[in-house]
Amino acid sequence: ETGVTQTPRHLVMGMTNKKSLKCEQHLGHNAMYWYKQSAKKPLELMFVYNFKEQTENNSVPSRFSPECPNSSHLFLHLHTLQPEDSALYLCASSQERWEGQGQYFGAGTRLSVL
């Protein structure tokens, strides 16, 4: 079992659909993150949760709605997306105290918005 699991791995949706991405971590970490990775752009941090509380929201449009019911699970709810939202969405987790440790990432969800 990998440390951080994301489902689904691939998702195709229309602009009027509603879907959710799921992330689960089995590492006992306290912090979880959503990133967007677009071609030829730096990884963009979207949301951060620390002990289930959202601590960062980097000006992400409201059509992306995160949910963190506990320290092991993180969701990203999607509705009325735009074609430019097509990207690889990566989930990560880390300890609250990060010295010496990086984030652990899932394999990502490849999203295509038609």
Partner 1 sequence: AQKITQTQPGMFVQEKEAVTLDCTYDTSDPSYGLFWYKQPSSGEMIFLIYQGSYDQQNATEGRYSLNFQKARKSANLVISASQLGDSAMYFCAMREGGNQFYFGTGTSLTVIP
Q: What residue ranges bind partner 1 (CB under 8 A)?
A: 31, 33, 40-43, 45, 48, 50, 55-56, 88, 90, 92, 98-108, 110
HSE-CB of 74 using CA atoms within 13 angstroms: 33
Residue 43 Cβ vs partner 1, minimum distance, rounded to whole Å: 4
| Cβ atoms of residues 77 and 34 within 8 Å | no
Q: Which is nearer to partner 1, 50 or 80 (CB)?
A: 50
Q: Rounded to 10 degrees, what is the CA torsion of 33, 38, 43, 45?
A: -40
Task: Compute the least distance from the CB of residue 16 to partner 1, in Å.
Answer: 27
- Smallest separation (angstroms) from partner 1 to the CB of 104: 6
